[in-house]
């Protein structure tokens, strides 16, 4: 059974990779290292992803990696141009990053997943405005750039993991692998 139901918009050469990443079997029984690495490679961060997989077990390296993530995310947020009415959204998004990082450092990937999904939703809104809330957002971003489109599709799938986690516990290894993909992509954006 697959968590992901919206792969029809993804280019055919990436569909099986995307489906494998969000497979319910992988989510509940443990990460499929090949599926996560393949998806990271499709995003153009495969080598960095494989290097970072073991960071979780080294507190100093984890803090350094998350610090780079925070710095890059702050730069991305600050560089976005928004209407005056949306300035508070930028500020709130920056405020959400520290609690996310704290959860990652604690190894609380279940809660981190929820916050990361919200971070990505807000970031998409800052980048793309109301287009990010439309049903064809994945198609729109895939037309701009395949890797970027795959990333925003990935972000849209995080909510399905949260729902699946209510029915069956998600493995910590799987959540780490999935979160690392998004964090790694944004760190290298």
Rounded Cα gap, residues 87 and 180, in angstroms? 28
**Mean pLDDT of the region 12-30:** 74
Q: What is the DSSP string of 2-66?
A: BS---GGGS-HHHHHHHHHHTBHHHHHH---HHHHHHHHHHTT-HHHHHHHGGGGG-HHHHHHHH
Instruction: Give pLDDT, residue 83.
Output: 80
The domains of the chain are located at: 7-187
Is 50 exceeded by the pLDDT of residue 174? yes
pLDDT tens-digit map of 101-118: 999 999 999 999 999 999
Percent of the chain with pLDDT over 70: 88
Report the helix count and the strand count for the chain, using DSSP H and E: 10, 0
Is 70 exceeded by the pLDDT of residue 20? yes
Rounded Cα gap, residues 70 and 32, in angstroms? 27
Confidence (pTM) = 0.88
Sign of the Cα torsion 26, 103, 169, 30 reads positive
Instruction: Give pLDDT, residue 29.
Output: 59
Is 90 exceeded by the pLDDT of residue 149? yes
CA distances (Å), 71 to each of 83, 136, 158, in order?
Answer: 23, 30, 23
Is 80 exceeded by the pLDDT of residue 166? no
Rounded Cα gap, residues 158 and 122, in angstroms? 14
The two three-digit tokens of residue 95, written as one number:
């405020």
Instruction: Give pLDDT, residue 43.
Output: 95
Chain-wide mean pLDDT for the chain? 86
The burial class, CB within 10 Å (0-12 / 13-18 / 19+), for 150 is: buried
**Mean pLDDT of the region 26-36:** 66
């Amino acid at each position: 059974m697959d968590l992901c139901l919206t792969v029809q918009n993804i280019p055919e050469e990436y569909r099986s990779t995307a489906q494998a990443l969000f497979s319910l079997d992988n989510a509940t029984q443990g990460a499929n290292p090949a599926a996560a690495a393949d998806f990271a490679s499709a995003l153009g961060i495969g080598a960095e992803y494989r290097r970072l997989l073991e960071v979780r077990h080294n507190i100093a390296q984890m803090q350094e990696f998350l610090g780079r993530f925070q710095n890059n995310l702050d730069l991305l947020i600050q560089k976005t141009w928004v209407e005056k009415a949306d300035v508070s959204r930028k500020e709130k998004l920056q405020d959400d990053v520290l609690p996310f990082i704290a959860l990652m450092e604690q190894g609380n990937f279940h809660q981190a997943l929820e916050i990361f999904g919200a971070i990505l939703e807000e970031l998409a809104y800052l980048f793309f405005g109301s287009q990010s809330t439309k049903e064809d957002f994945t198609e729109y971003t895939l037309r701009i750039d395949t890797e970027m489109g795959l990333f925003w599709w990935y972000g849209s799938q995080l909510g399905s993991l949260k729902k699946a986690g209510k029915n069956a516990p998600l493995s910590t290894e799987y959540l780490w692998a999935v979160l690392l993909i998004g964090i790694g992509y944004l760190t290298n954006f």
